[in-house]
Amino acid sequence: MWQTFREAPLSARFGMITIALYLFVMVLAPILAPYGETDVVGRKFAPWGGEFLLGTDNLGRDMLSRLIYAARNTVGFALITTTLTFALGTFMGLLAATLGGWLDQAISRIVDVFISVPMLIFSLLLLTIFGTSIISVILIIAVLDSTRVFRLARAVAVDVTVQDFFEAAQARGESLWWLIRREVLPNVLPPLIAEFGLRFCFVFLVFSALSFLGLGIQPPTADWGSMVRDTATLITFGDVTPLLPAIAIAWLTVGVNFVVDWKLHQASGLKS
């Protein structure tokens, strides 16, 4: 790991340090936070400094503690959702490309219908129907976003299924699961790994946007999107407190994208 870090360009190092820092905060949130996640510890909108390093929010909760706990909630839920997204989208994409025929066409046309509707609007509609529990948010975003992963997985897998080694494995009578696991998946991993980083950023931003609109992670759970909404009125008074969770969102997004760009560059085979 240290050798990989040393060989990485400066931008990728910045991204890896950023990801490591966020993971560190996620794991040690109860230790790092000076107060509890939902504790009301002072008057509302207390200024920075003194007892409260970054002031308090609209209910008198410590902003620093909320920011730290929000790292665990926002990033953790986004990571779970992205994992489910890829498990579903990659499996369906590889299955459709390997089998082909009517199954491939049926899945592809269903995916086209889902993709034709903007994801945020579709998410808002489904959350209105099924409720705004965290389970509903995770499942809805995972299902909708898996359509994008399906398109990529199918596209790269189709190129593999026309290769001689794949046809030779079919001629040997290998099972469907063996073909997917041993012949197709290893040859499509690099673009899928890079896409995982991009999808994580997208899911992470969708989570924050839904929370800002009041349909994502629900109070009193700390979340960067809802924290921006709760403190937005301070902007009119020249207070930069609402920018803190926004900066936390932007910083992680940029860091992950730096690492993804580096991995894509490696997968492309380019030397410079």
Mean of per-residue pLDDT scores for the chain: 86
Handedness of CA 150, 153, 159, 165 (dihedral sign): negative
- Assigned token pair, 182: 């041993």
Lowest mean pLDDT among 54-58, 206-210, 266-270: 266-270
- Assigned token pair, 206: 């969708």
Looking at the structure, give the CATH architecture of the domain made up of residues 44-268.
Orthogonal Bundle (1.10)
For residue 36, the model assigns a pLDDT of 87
Residue 24 — very low, low, confident or very high, per pLDDT cuts 50/70/90? very high
For residue 269, the model assigns a pLDDT of 56
Residue 260 — very low, low, confident or very high, per pLDDT cuts 50/70/90? confident
Is 14 in contact with 255 (CB distance < 8 Å)?
yes
Is 228 in contact with 246 (CB distance < 8 Å)?
yes
- Assigned token pair, 172: 């040997």
Q: What is the mean pLDDT of residues 171-192?
A: 84
Nearest CA among 254, 252, 232, 253 for reference residue 243: 232
d(CA 35, CA 38): 8
- Assigned token pair, 123: 């998410």
For residue 68, the model assigns a pLDDT of 92
Annotate the chain with DSSP letters as a single string.
-HHHHHHS-HHHHHHHHHHHHHHHHHHTHHHH-SS-SS-B-SSTTPPSBTTBTT-B-TTSBBHHHHHHHHIIIIIHHHHHHHHHHHHHHHHHHHHHHHH-HHHHHHHHHHHHHHHTS-HHHHHHHHHHHH---HHHHHHHHHHHHHHHHHHHHHHHHHHHHTSHHHHHHHHTT--HHHIIIIIIHHHHHHHHHHHHHHHHHHHHHHHHHHHHTTSSSPTTS--HHHHHHHTGGGGGGT--TTHHHHHHHHHHHHHHHHHHHHHHHHHHT---
Q: Does residue 264 surpass a pLDDT of 80?
A: no
Q: Does residue 271 surpass a pLDDT of 60?
A: no
Q: Does residue 165 surpass a pLDDT of 70?
A: yes
For residue 268, the model assigns a pLDDT of 63
- Is the bond preceding 220 in cis, omega lying within 30 degrees of 0? yes
